[in-house]
Structures are given as structure tokens and as C-alpha cells.
Amino acid sequence: MNTEQAIVIARKHVGNGAQMDSSARLCLSDAISIMEKGNLESAKKWAVRSLSYSVGVFHSDYQLAAA
């Protein structure tokens, strides 16, 4: 999965009522900002971290993005 796909999936899950939604939003915002600066590897890591806050590490979307 590339960086843009990871960000799209993370964006899909933000606002889903997760207890750590504010952290998920912040990580997603960082991912987008870092991607715009051209650091795709770091941006993907932030998108994956956003998913960890919004859906948890056992969710299939997190597993897919983290692989």
C-alpha cells in the first residue's frame, strides 16, 4: 500500500467516534503535511499511527496499511 492509499483509509476512519479521535486527527493532519513536503515514508507512518488511534492495531485496515 502506498502513502496516498494509507492516508485515504486513515481519513475514512477519522470521526468514527473512537475514544482517541483527537489523536487520530492530529496524526492524519501530520501525515498530510509531511506528504506535501515530499517525505512519503514518514507520512505513511503517521497515517498508520492515525489508524492505530481510530480503529486499533487489530483492525484489518490497520493491518493492511502497516504491512
The set of long-range contacts for 36-39, using a CB threshold of 8 Å and a minimum separation of 24, is: none
In 3-state terms, what secondary structure has residue 52? helix
CA within 13 Å, CB half, 38: 0
pLDDT band at 60 (very low <50, low <70, confident <90, very high): very high
Per-residue pLDDT averaged across 20-46, rounded? 96
pLDDT exceeds cutoff 90 at 15: no
Please give the pLDDT value at position 16. Answer: 84
Enter the pTM of the model: 0.91
